[in-house]
């Protein structure tokens, strides 16, 4: 045997020993792989080692879907084949605890369902001591205010210039509704009244029931005449400092019937009043205008001239 042949045989022996060592090191890993017969039904096995796959054979679509499903499992619920029935029980217990925790968490929808509605809150407020006391106070206040408005003093708004210059459009005033019980209506009183039936003949249907404001120029039994722009009552010339201008019409002479008054506007030529539609029944009168409170620069008492 030559020296070159000896060296070749020595190299071959070393390569054979190295291969044997590699194979023996890989055997424990192969022996620890799970057997398909040991897998529990319903659980996806762990991905097999790449050493067992054949690179030349493509994986079928079902195997791909299985791998995707395996990767999406929650790590806390995964089981290996060597865990047995105890592992499955633990996974089920964990799943049950997660569901229980979700049920016990408070939700906004539950709070909204438990919250009482507006009607129930109102009932609860009325049933409380503070609620009953406050409701009583509001009831008394509202009743007094409404009674004051209906029976004593009523606010009114001026819509036209028929009473200019005493009132302008937009003026607001208070009407006294109680003094009529102890003081008869007199000449020169400014009164608010419900329009009589005869008024409807001269206006549109929508305005036939409007309340009006005028000044009393004569009471029942008076003999009234308007001539040359001046007012005469019972044959005497009446001083009218509140009048805007002389009347451009003639009226009378006429006697005011019982239970009635005669009313004119201070703006005589721009007023639809008794010289057109006749006498006003006293029962139509709502009350006297006593206070003008708006606008502030024109606020003050309404002069109801005597005489």
Catalytic residues: 162
- Please tell me the distance from the alpha carbon of residue 67 to that of residue 55, in angstroms, as a whole number: 17
Structure tokens at 53: 């796959």
Residue 235 corresponds to which tokens in the numbers above? Answer: 């044959």
Q: Edge-to-edge, what's the strand order for the sheet holding 230-233?
A: 236-237, 230-233, 223-227, 251-255
Q: How far is CA 218 from CA 256, 287, 305, in A?
A: 7, 17, 13
* Among 75, 265, 76, 67, residue whose Cα is nearest residue 161: 265
Helix axes 118-127, 129-147, angle to 10 degrees: 90
Q: What are the strands, taking DSSP E only, across the chain?
A: 153-157, 172-176, 190-194, 211-219, 223-227, 230-233, 236-237, 251-255, 260-264, 280-281, 285-294, 300-301
Q: Is the dihedral of CA 157, 159, 162, 166 positive or negative?
A: positive
The single-letter DSSP state of residue 148 is: I
Phi, psi (deg, nearest 5) at residue 261 = -135, 165
Helix-strand-coil percent breakdown of the chain, rounded to 5? Answer: 45, 20, 35
């Amino acid at each position: 045997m030559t020296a070159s042949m000896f060296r070749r045989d020595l190299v071959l022996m070393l390569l054979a020993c190295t291969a044997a060592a590699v194979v023996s090191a890989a055997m424990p890993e192969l022996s620890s792989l799970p057997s398909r017969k040991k897998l529990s039904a319903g659980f996806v096995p762990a991905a097999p080692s790449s050493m067992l796959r054949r690179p030349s054979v493509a994986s079928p679509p079902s195997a791909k879907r299985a791998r995707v499903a395996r990767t999406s499992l929650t790590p806390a619920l995964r089981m290996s084949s060597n865990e047995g029935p105890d592992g499955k029980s633990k996974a089920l217990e964990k799943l049950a605890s997660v569901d229980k925790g979700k049920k016990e968490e408070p939700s906004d929808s539950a709070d909204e369902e438990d919250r009482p509605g507006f009607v129930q809150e109102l009932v609860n407020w009325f049933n409380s001591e503070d609620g009953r006391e406050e409701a009583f106070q509001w009831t008394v206040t509202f009743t007094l205010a409404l009674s004051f408005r209906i029976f004593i003093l009523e606010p009114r708004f001026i819509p036209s210039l028929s009473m200019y210059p005493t009132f302008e459009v937009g003026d607001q005033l208070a009407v006294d509704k109680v003094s009529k019980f102890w003081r008869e209506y007199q000449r020169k009183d400014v009164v608010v009244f419900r329009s009589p039936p005869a008024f409807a003949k001269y206006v549109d249907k929508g305005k036939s029931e409007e309340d009006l404001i005028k000044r009393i120029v004569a009471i029942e039994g008076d003999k009234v005449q308007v001539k040359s722009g001046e007012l005469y009552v019972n044959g005497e010339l009446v001083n009218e400092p509140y009048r805007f201008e002389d009347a451009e019409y003639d009226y009378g002479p006429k006697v005011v019937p019982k239970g009635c008054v005669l009313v004119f506007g201070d703006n005589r030529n721009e007023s639809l009043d008794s010289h057109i539609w006749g006498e006003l029944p006293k029962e139509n009168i709502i009350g006297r205008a006593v206070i003008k409170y708006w606008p502030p620069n024109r606020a003050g008492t309404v002069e109801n001239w005597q005489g």
